[in-house]
Amino acid sequence: MRLEPNPPRLVTVVVALVIGAIGLVYAWPITALVPLLDPVANALGSVGLTLDRELADLCLFACPSLLVVGSLLPGI
């Protein structure tokens, strides 16, 4: 079985960029942008997650991982 990489879908790219931006703002606290992401923190708080540095590091890891998975698996 050969993997033939395809470009990921636009939705996958947008989600990966949003996750990467959130991770970047919280991993290296950019104080000017943290208040802009309060709605995201509130939405994650309702699920039971706190947006801290650990979750930000996971977001930074998930961003390129999502792009790789999106290029290797069709339909993602």
Asked if residue 54 is part of any domain, the answer here is yes
Please name the amino acid found at residue 21. A
Q: Label residue 1 by pLDDT band (50, 70, 90).
A: low
Could you list the residue range(s) of the whole structural domain that residue 45 is in?
Answer: 10-70
Q: What's the rounded Cα separation, in Å, for the pair 6 and 55? A: 29
Q: What's the rounded Cα separation, in Å, for the pair 22 and 34? A: 9
Asked if residue 53 is part of any domain, the answer here is yes
In this predicted model, what pLDDT tens digit does every residue of 16-63 receive, in sequence order?
Answer: 999 999 999 999 888 899 899 899 989 999 999 988 899 999 999 999
Please name the amino acid found at residue 6. N
Listed in sequence order, the residues at least 6 apart from 69 whose beta carbon sits closer than 8 Å to its beta carbon are: 76
Q: How many structural domains does the chain have? A: 1
pTM of the model: 0.82
Asked if residue 45 is part of any domain, the answer here is yes
Joined tokens for residue 43: 């939405």
